[in-house]
Structures are given as structure tokens and as C-alpha cells.
Structure 1
């Protein structure tokens, strides 16, 4: 959510920042609504001041015995009461209209975010490791999983429809092992505090992190009006909604392993086979709540925390800095981690780490008290995947596959797999 005062002070800069996202200027429309609201507020203040003055004048008129004037003043006050009630209703309507306009405008990119209209404008920052060199044609994960007899898309389709999977045996255990390994790494080496959070949230929570109102079609809603979370970012970030924290307690670093639910409304025809894009998947989410001065270095720290999982699993990846036109709605700057998938002969996103500034905090009214004790300020929020469990499973199957169809279990996961070094058929 944007600060209308900041837009009022520099509308040209606001429009220029939106232009970097490929959006038309909107400051004129916003400032017209803002001027209308401020004009209405002034009229209300004048009417209230006149009502207060008239109330005193009634007492004076009664004291002096001027009943005619007293009755005239009472009639004026009755009219002012109606005027004020109508004015307050109009002010609320203008406020709602202005807030609705602000609610669908994305965050403004940092200067560090490169210019570009789509993914072709993203910039590679670094790579880690090397792609495996196979003496055979590598297969895609769904071919591997189905050959192993432990990945079943047909059974899932009978139960739930497209974009679901059933896994069994060692692959089901691998999913669990990955989640446990990721949580242990993020809570141990990387200092995040593990949480168990709700998987269903209300409208206010979805609004706070920016999923509503613009992206309702990408979400699943329950019959009682709650929403299934598309990511634990929603639940974790909203833990500070409406709160005032102490600066000495920042940054907060939170993590949770949850299922995630996405309608994938805009993904028709994309990744229709396999586990890359599903309605239900698991993820270990990272969220940081910081003071404004901490947020930019915290993005680097969070990205490194996500990278450490890929490195421990021996997975080749690259870090991409997203251009202004390809960033998510609430982001000011984003790093995507893209893991190498030999079966696809391509890099695919496995994590996005973003700094949102005070964009979400304004929507949630999340603040902190500075150490100097002067007033309150909005916190900054960050979020990232540490990592998407299903896509990490996909990467392990494709990168650690063997010619005989088995899959080598990375050393770091073997304690979580009962000591197994390979996933074999059966």
C-alpha cells in the first residue's frame, strides 16, 4: 500500500517508478481523489466548528432571554447535524474509493532492480556448481518417478483432477526428508524460528500481504469465506499485523513448513505434466521483519540461506536479479534461484527472495518503536522460499539419476532417509 502523502509530494517520481513496471501514470487520478477527500475533510471541520460555536451561542441566548435567537440557533444546529452526517458518509465513500485505487497498485522497484518488461530483462548475478555430465540421455522427473513405481498422476487425477500427484514409498519419504532437512538448516545454521501456522486465513490477512484484492482468482476459498494459503508468507507476515514492536527485537526471522494451495488460473497449458506447477505443494517459507535500515542487507542474508540448501544437496543453480517488469506485486527487489533440471535442459525457479519495504506493513499497520523513543515507524518485510519442497524433489530426481533408473540420495539427506543411499524401483 502506498503513502498518499509521498505521492502528493513527488507525483512525477511515483509515475516514473510505475513506468519501470510497464504501467501507465496514475498519480493524477489518485491526487484528484485525495484533493476531493481533503476538501471534504475541511468542509466537515468547518461544519463541526460552526456547530460547536452555535451550541455555545444557544446557551448565551437562553441566558439573555433571547428565545427567538435560541430557537433559530437550534434549527441551525439540527441542519448542521444532517450536513455533518451526510459529509461523514461522503468522506467514507471517498476514502474507500481512494484506498481501493491504492490497493491494486504494485510496489515500486528499487533503483538496483534492472529495467526490463519481462523475464528477458532479468540479470544473472552468479552461478554455483556445475551441471551433471551423464553418459546417457537424462530423463524428466515424472518419467523417473513413474518408472520407480512411486509417482502416480493418474491416481491423483481420479481423486482430485489435474495438477495433483500421489507419491508412495521412498519418494513420499524423500518429500518428508527434504522438509525436515530444510527446517533443520534454516532454524539451526541460519537462525530462523520455526512456526506452526494456520493454513486458512481471513480477508484481512490476504489483503495485508497483497494477495487481495487483485489476485483472488489465483486463490482457493472455503465455503465459510476463508482462504487457503498460497504460501506461508501470508500467515507468518501477518503475525505482526496491527502490532507495534520494539526496535531492539528486530529483525525477526520466521520459518514454517506448510502445504500451499494455488489455483494456477493463469497457467493454462504450462507444465501440465509433472510436479512443477501444482494446485497443492509443500514449501519451507522464510520471512523477516526488520527496521528499514536492515532490510536491504537482510535480503542478501535470506538469499544466502536459501542457497545453502541447494549447495548442501549438490544442485547446480544460478541467481537471477529480476527486472522491474518481472517482479511480484509486493516486491521492491527480488532474487530468483533457478535450479538446473537436466531432463528439461533448462534452469527452473525454485525460490524467490524479495524485499517489500514498508509496502505490506502499511497494509497491515505493522510498526515498531525506534530506540530513540520518538513516535513509531512502519517495519519492513521480506519473504523467500527456503525452499519449495516439490521442486527440490524434482531437482534431486533429475540431477542424481543413474543409468539403471535408480536415484542417488544426497549425503545430507541420508540421515533423514533411514540411511538409504539410493531410491530404487518398487
Structure 2
């Protein structure tokens, strides 16, 4: 959430920068300024009324002692009137504050100046690429056919048990999935991230804190009876560890990693682009999260991008890194890099990771602050996160790119984790 200070001091810049996200913020910004002005006016009136009440309350006792009963009764009536007026003003102020908060949460985060203009993924800018696209044999198959041939992933069984988008991993498929999770975690831990195992459901405050609510309400599974939400990513519970926390500047950087199943409704998804593992309602993902000093958050973003790139190099998958344009960015992000791996059998690029800097946007919602040594004023920290990595499309690319005419080879770096060299 943008701060009131950002909006008041940089009104025109806020409006101009949000146009990069194809968001017309003018009406929202003006409404925020008007509501904040009304809130301050109401607060001023309430403060004046309270001061008058306190002064009159002190004078009433003195009046009675001085035998000025009539004046005292008049003062008591004035105090009673002030209390009623204060009550009405307080109710009005609550309504104004709610409307102000409801308006603020509808304004996206400001994109970084380096974010390119554009509306769709076609307008994203490639930063760099690595690896080489394999040359497959003439009878090469997409991963959903390989999964069936070798009985390692059962999509139809998942439909029977739950529904479309809930695959069942079997035998070496399950073991390879587990190997990827362990490999990703060990890589992250070696890079200085501390492992956490968070809950898979969060409350409304947590979903609000990282920006899923109200923006992504319809995309999350909602356990209505308890008002819990199944997590769309480990980013949500892990970042909320720091909700309502005041850190010291010396605590930075804070680096965390977590493996979780993730749940996304992905309403309206259908067609050839969602076949097999390409788009699921339940999937496994290993996440990295950083809480960092504002002066160093973009250095951390570069380090996180390099870290994810290093993992893809070890898997020997062809990849490319793209800087997202404004129209393809999330509501909460200031700058995002996407990683895509090339799926040789499908002949297409598959997104496998997003690494983002949210600057102070999440921290403001979370009330996540820090204090510089010797300073009394608390400041907003910066938060970052990235997939390191999302498993479904990584697994799809591995199955397709490493296939030969009689089976599927396992990347050397994964063999110690899964215990076999080939399917």
C-alpha cells in the first residue's frame, strides 16, 4: 500500500508512474487527498471539543465552590452537548477513515522507473538467456504423454480424486518431485537462506498484508467457515512472520526459504496452454523471501536473480530472463524479473519463477518497520521474494528436454537426491 506521504508529496509522479501499469490513478489519488483532508479536519474539531470539555469540567467544580450554581449547570449542559457532538463526529470519522483505507488498498504499487511500458507479456524485455535448446529425436513427446508412458504422473486419477489440475505423482515421478524440492532447498540454504515450514492456510490479515486481498480474492481457495485462505505461495505466510514487527537496521538482510504446496483457483483457465503440468490448481514450490534495508533492496534483487539463474544453470535447462512490462506486472510489485525455461517437445517457453522487489508496499500493509541505530523514528523496510523454484514447469521441461528414444535421463545434479539416473 502506498503511504499518504508518497501521495501528498508526489501526487503527479504517482499518477504518471502508475500509467506504466496501465492504471489511471487520478481519481483515486484525488479521492485519497480529499478524504485525508476531511479526516484531519474532523480530528481537529474533535481535539478542540475534547479540550473544551476538559477545560469546562475543571471550571464546573470551581463554580460550585464559588456558589455559581447557575453558571455550573450551564457549563454542564455545554459539556453534555459537546459529548454528543463528539460522538457523532467520531462516528463520521470512522466512516471517513474506512473509506480512505478502502481507496488506498485499490491503488497498485508504483513501478520502478526501469519498468518498460506495455500491456501484455509480448511487451516484456529479454535481459539475457543461457543454456542450449536440445535437439530431440523425431518421436519426441510432450511431458503429459511421457508421464503416462512411464506411469510417473497420473492426471486422470487426479481428476477422479479431486478434479482437473490436481495430478497424482507416482513411483519415480514422486521421487523426482521430492528430489527437486530437496535440491532447491539445499541450494537456498547454501546461499544463506534460513529454512521455514509455515502453515498452508492463513487468516485474512495475512492475506491482506502481502497484497493478495482484496486484489486476488477470487483466485484463492477460501475456507469460509473459519475464514482461512489456502496459500497461493509461501511468500504469504513467510512474509507475515514480520507483520507488526519493528526490526533493527543491523538485522538486515533477513533471508528465508520455504517449501510448500500452493493452491490457486486459476478461474477461467482452459485450452492447450494448460495441458499437463503447465497450469495446476495445486503445485509444489520453493520460495525465497528477503527483508532488506531500502538502500540495499535492489542489490538484493540482483543477487536473488543471479541465485535463481545459478540453479537453472546447474539443471542445464535453456532459460531466459525477462523484465516485465507494466501491464504484465503484479498489483504489488515495483520491479519483477521472470524466468522462463524452454520446453523442447512443446516448442514454447514456460514461466518457472518470478523474482520481485515490492519496496515498502507490503511493509506498509504489514506495519513492518525498522529503526536505525540512535534514531527514534521507525521507517518502513523493503520486502522481496522469488520462486526458487516452482516445480511443475521445471519438471515438464526436464522430462521433455532430457528424453531419448527409450527413456528419460536425470540431470547429474539431481541424481544424488533421487537415487537413480534414468526413468
Shorter-normalised TM-score: what interval?
over 0.9
Q: Compare 285-294 and 27-36 and name the one that shifted more.
A: 27-36
Q: Is the 8 A contact 2:136 2:344 kept in 1?
A: no
Tell whether the 8 Å contact from 1:139 to 1:342 is kept in structure 2 after alignment: no
In structure 1, C-alpha distance between the alignment counterparts of 2:307 and 2:422, rounded to whole Å:
27
The residue number in structure 1 matching 2:187 is 185
Unaligned regions of 5+ residues in structure 2, if any?
A: none
Question: The residue matched to 2:404 in structure 1 has which SS?
Answer: coil
Q: How big is the shift at 1:71?
A: 0.4
For 1:19-168, what aligned pairs fall within 5 Å after superposition?
19-24=19-24, 25=26, 26-168=28-170
Q: Are the structure 2 counterparts of residues 314 and 8 from structure 1 closer, same or farther at C-alpha, using a change threshold of 3 Å?
A: same
**Partner secondary structure for residue 330 of structure 2:** coil
Q: How much has 1:373 moved relative to structure 2?
A: 2.8
For residue 348 of structure 1, report the CA deviation from its aligned partner: 1.2
Q: How does 1:170-249 map to 2 (within 5 A)?
A: 170-188=172-190, 190-222=191-223, 223-249=225-251
Out of 137-146 and 328-337, give the one that drifted further.
137-146
Q: Distance in 2 between matches of 1:266 and 1:91?
A: 41
**Residue of 343, 346, 357 corresponding to 1:355:** 357
Aligned to 2:5: 5
Does the C-alpha gap of structure 1 residues 260 and 28 become closer, same or farther in structure 2, counting only changes over 3 Å? same
Structure-2 separation of matches of 1:31 and 1:373 = 29
CA–CA distance in 1 between the matches of 2:199 and 2:214?
Answer: 20
Alignment partners' CA distance in 2, 1:301 and 1:421: 32
Gaps of 5+ in 1: none
TM-score scaled by structure 1? Answer: 0.96
SS in structure 2 at match of 1:139: coil
Partner of 2:421: 421
5 Å-filtered alignment, 1:280-359, equals 280-359=282-361
Partners of 1:156 and 1:348 in 2: how far apart? 22
| Bigger mean CA deviation after superposition, 41-50 or 92-101 | 41-50
Equivalent-residue separation in structure 2 for 1:379 and 1:46 (angstroms): 35
Question: For residues 108 and 269 of structure 1, what CA distance do their matches in structure 2 show?
Answer: 33
Task: Return the TM-score normalized by structure 2.
Answer: 0.97
Pairwise CA distance, 1:163: 1.1
> What's the secondary structure of 2:326's corresponding residue?
coil
CA distance in 1, matches of 2:66, 2:123: 79
Q: Secondary structure at the match of 1:412?
A: coil
Shift of 1:64: 1.9
Q: Distance in 2 between matches of 1:262 and 1:211?
A: 12
Q: CA RMSD in A?
A: 1.2
After TM superposition, the structure 1 stretch with the greater mean CA deviation from structure 2, 201-210 or 114-123, is 114-123
Distance (whole Å) between structure 2 residues aligned to residue 5 and residue 89 of structure 1: 25
The count of corresponding residues between Structure 1 and Structure 2 is 420
Q: CA deviation at 1:237?
A: 0.4
Offset at residue 137 of structure 1 (A): 4.6
**What SS does the aligned partner of 1:288 have?**
strand
